[in-house]
Amino acid sequence: MSRWRAAASRISAASASRNSAAAAAESRVLSRAFLEAPSRHPPPPLQTLSRAFAKSAAAAAAATGPTTSRSPGATNPAYAGQRPEACSLRDCFSISQVRLNSMFLSKPCSLALPPDSPHRAVDPQYEGIKRFMLTLLLFYSKQSKAIRGANVVYDRITSQVDSPSIYDVFQLEKTFKTTFSLLVLHMWLVLRRLKEEGKDGVKFGQYIYEMYNHDVELRVSKAGVNLLLTKWMKELEKIFYGNIVKYDAAISSEARQDDLVNVIWRNIYAEEGSEAMDGAAAPAVQASSFPDALARYTRREATCLSLTDKDAMFSGNFKFTALLPPTPSPSPKKPAR
């Protein structure tokens, strides 16, 4: 039994001991928290949900009634101007696959921000009595600077993970599971790069990890899951470390070329309990090459971060590659006669 399913089973057992009214209320809270339908992004075709929460979703749907769906053109420029019935499932997959195959193939480069970038984070510099007082309060100490830098780095991670474009490009449904999986993936990218800096990088990564833990706890609470929060955090911590090990193995020199694709499919796209990507398990996802594109993006970002200098990494003055939904190039206009 997977960790997601085991955690859900324990919560279900705890809620069953209460009266029927309270149990039904808790079930509705959990279902809304982990299977909340997205309001800004269309669900990807044949996107599978976690088995652990499928039953809760059905119960919530029966209690709240059917929800209205939005057409793909509402958020994806690729379908703009089309009526919902104008783009069949096969046509949408063909369009997306052709465009995805041409993405993330450019030469890797440093992600450090240029000196004149408005997105750079600059440590405040004071003079006179104010600087003297801040010095006494250890504002300019090495640890204090490291914590401020870690805060900026984590802001870069969450900005990329919370950006609507990442869900549009890779056709992901914005649920707690997918957002958490993307958060773990980008945390791994940063922590992997910091390991290259030795002990200083590992210590700096610990500050980032503490901010990550606090942020995940806030996200779970904000989603409405306050029941057995400590147990949920322990389960998410196990999933975090398990995914980190899998990503390290999938990108090692001994790994096969498709290992990273399989790990990404299993962690982000697959239904709970699936072990490998195959045509029988997820034909639509495999055919559309979304996991393959996300694997290319991951490899490229890992290389780009390796090319990013230490100062940029420790100050947070870098930025992940911007993700924009690919749009067809406009046809050249005919010269006027």
Lowest mean per-residue pLDDT among 33-37, 155-159, 251-255, 305-309? 33-37
pLDDT digit string, tens, across residues 199-218: 999 999 999 999 999 999 99
In this prediction, residue 54 carries a pLDDT of 42
pLDDT band at 198 (very low <50, low <70, confident <90, very high): very high
3-state secondary structure the chain: CCHHHHHHHHHHHHHHCCCHHHHHHHHHHHHHHHCCCCCCCCCCCCCCCCHHHHHHHHHHHHHHCCCCCCCHHHCCHHHCCCCHHHCCHHHHHHHHHHHHCCCCCCCCCCCECCCCCCCCCCCCCCCHHHHHHHHHCCCCCHHHHHHHHHHHHHHHHHHHHCCHHHHHHCCCCCCHHHHHHHHHHHHHHHHHHHHCCCHHHHHHHHHHHHHHHHHHHHHHHHCCCCCCHHHHHHHHHHHHHHHHHHHHHHCCCCCCCCHHHHHHHHHHHCCCCCCCCCCCCCHHHHHHCHHHHHHHHHHHHHHHHHHCCHHHHHHCCECCCCCCCCCCCCCCCCCCC
Lowest mean per-residue pLDDT among 29-38, 115-124, 188-197, 277-286? 29-38
> Hey, where are the domains in the chain?
88-315
In this prediction, residue 310 carries a pLDDT of 95
pLDDT digit string, tens, across residues 91-137: 444 444 546 666 788 899 999 999 999 999 988 888 899 889 988 98
In this prediction, residue 123 carries a pLDDT of 84
pLDDT band at 178 (very low <50, low <70, confident <90, very high): very high
In this prediction, residue 83 carries a pLDDT of 37
In this prediction, residue 100 carries a pLDDT of 65
pLDDT digit string, tens, across residues 251-301: 998 989 889 999 999 999 986 555 555 554 444 444 448 899 999 999 999
More confident residue, 105 or 167: 167
pLDDT band at 327 (very low <50, low <70, confident <90, very high): low
pTM: 0.67
More confident residue, 284 or 320: 320
